[in-house]
Structure 1
Amino acid sequence: MSITLSHITLAYGSRILLQDVSASVPRGSLTALIGRNGTGKSTLLRAAAGLGEAASGEITLCGHALASLTPLQRASTVSFVTTDKVRIPNLACEDVVALGRAPYTNWIGRMQEADRDIVARSLALVGMSGFARKTMDRMSDGECQRILIARALAQDTPVILLDEPTAFLDLPNRYELATLLRRLAHDEGKCILFSTHDLDVALGLCDAIALIDTPALHCLPAAEMAASGHIERLFAGAGITFDPATLTVRLAKK
């Protein structure tokens, strides 16, 4: 397993978000993290990236306790794509992607030929080779998101975490981006975990679903999650119905 949570408790201030939860996410799989607003999706991703601390329990990445990794070891194990819109006006896309090579360049950050090859391959993997010399201030949200994913690929980590990567995209681009993540997980052997509110995308394209139902975390294959009843309970009382047969979410009729 690439990500293992062992008896994790997460809190935001005095509020318990997750309590004594255990789960694992394997390599070569795409897993969606879902849950209602404020239930701790971002907090969990940041904890798994080493950017926040769990109140108790242990997070293991690729067989190594996260707490025992040095900053350099962590940077070569897990990459994190935030939900923030990023616009860097004076930096070419290939230079943005090259930032992912920082854990591997020498002390003055000089790129070697092998690093440049990895940057070029990362751009190609996300279909953005033609944008190498363009700047992100002249690109769409979907194109910018692909560049940030390419940067994570250039970082060459077995684990990639993304916080709501489809948040600012229209429906066709959401499916396109999730399809890209699925291909990268399967073809490149990456362990990819991303948070999303797009239940149809998650159930239709992901291998597994991790659902936060505070203070519990349920992690199941996508088909099993659809049939488990956990999603219906998630929407209980919110005026929303979920049909596991068609994987559709609808507002309940009044």
Structure 2
Amino acid sequence: MSIELRHLGIGYGRRTLLDDVSTTFAQGSLTALLGRNGSGKSTLLRALAGLGPVASGEVLLCGRPLVQLSPLERASTVSFVTTDKVRIANLACEDVVALGRAPYTNWFGRMQRGDRETVARALELVGMSSFARKTMDAMSDGECQRILIARALAQDTPVILLDEPTAFLDLPNRYELCTLLQRLAREEGKCVLFSTHDLDIALSLCDSVALIDTPHLHHLPTREMVRSGHIERLFSGGGITFDPVSQTVRPAEKG
């Protein structure tokens, strides 16, 4: 297992988002994190990355308590792609990706041959080798998101967390990006966990689904999650209905 939650509790202020959550996310798996707006998806991801507080319990990354990892150890264990639009002008894409090598470079931050090879391979994996010398200010949102994922790959961590990676993409690019994440999990052996509102994509491409049902987290293999009724119950009151047979969502019928 790459991520283990033991009786985890998170929240902000006096509000509890998750309480007494215990589950594991395995190496080589792609997991979608679902939940209503404000349910704590981003807060959970930040806590798993060591960037947010944990109210109770603990997070283990690759068998080690997160709180015991030094900043350098954490940076070589987990990478995090945020939902923010990032466009770094005047910096070539390969240089943006090279930022992921920071935990491994020498005191002067100089790239060695192995670092450059890792950067080149990361760009190749996301299909962006031809963009190596281009700058992000002249690229589409989907292309920029691929570069940020390449930076996470160059960081060479067993765990990759992504917060709404498809938020600014059209439907074809959302499928293409999530297919890339699926391939990275299965072929590169990464533990990939990403938050999303794209229920159709999550159910068609992911190995498992983690569903925040405050203050609980239901985490099941995708087929079992569909049969469980959790998704239908959680989302049916929000103006949509979920068809467990076709595994699609549609606007709720008005009575």
Query: Shorter chain as normaliser: what TM range?
Result: over 0.9
Q: Could you tell me which residue of structure 2 aligns to residue 30 of structure 1?
A: 30
The percent of aligned pairs where both chains have the same amino acid is 77
Amino acid in structure 2 at the alignment position of 1:8: L
Contact 2:30–2:206 (8 Å) recurs in 1 = yes
Distance 1:239 1:171 in 2: 21
Output aligned runs, 1:86-125, within 5 Å: 86-125=86-125
Q: Could you tell me which residue of structure 2 aligns to residue 217 of structure 1?
A: 217
TM-score by length of 2: 0.99
Q: Could you tell me which residue of structure 2 aligns to residue 167 of structure 1?
A: 167
Q: Could you tell me which residue of structure 2 aligns to residue 203 of structure 1?
A: 203
Amino acid in structure 2 at the alignment position of 1:16: T
Deviations 1:219-251 (A, max 9, x none): 000111111100011113223210010011111
Distance 1:116 1:252 in 2: 51
Structure 2 unpaired stretches of 5+: none
Output aligned runs, 1:132-171, within 5 Å: 132-171=132-171
Q: Could you tell me which residue of structure 2 aligns to residue 74 of structure 1?
A: 74
CA shift, 1:186, in A, is 0.3
Distance 1:232 1:225 in 2: 10
Q: Could you tell me which residue of structure 2 aligns to residue 252 of structure 1?
A: 252
Deviations 1:115-140 (A, max 9, x none): 00000000000000000000000000
Q: Could you tell me which residue of structure 1 aligns to residue 13 of structure 2?
A: 13
Q: Could you tell me which residue of structure 2 aligns to residue 85 of structure 1?
A: 85
Amino acid in structure 2 at the alignment position of 1:222: T
Deviations 1:26-81 (A, max 9, x none): 00000000000000000000000000111000100000000000000000000000
Distance 1:179 1:236 in 2: 27
SS at match of 1:168: coil
Deviations 1:164-189 (A, max 9, x none): 00000000000000000000000000
Name the Cα RMSD after superposition: 0.6
Q: Could you tell me which residue of structure 2 aligns to residue 43 of structure 1?
A: 43
CA shift, 1:158, in A, is 0.2
SS at match of 1:11: strand
Structure 1 unpaired stretches of 5+: none
Tell me whether 170-179 or 234-243 shows the greater mean CA deviation: 234-243
Contact 2:236–2:252 (8 Å) recurs in 1 = no
SS at match of 2:137: helix
Q: Could you tell me which residue of structure 2 aligns to residue 3 of structure 1?
A: 3
Distance 2:234 2:127 in 1: 36
Distance 1:252 1:190 in 2: 37
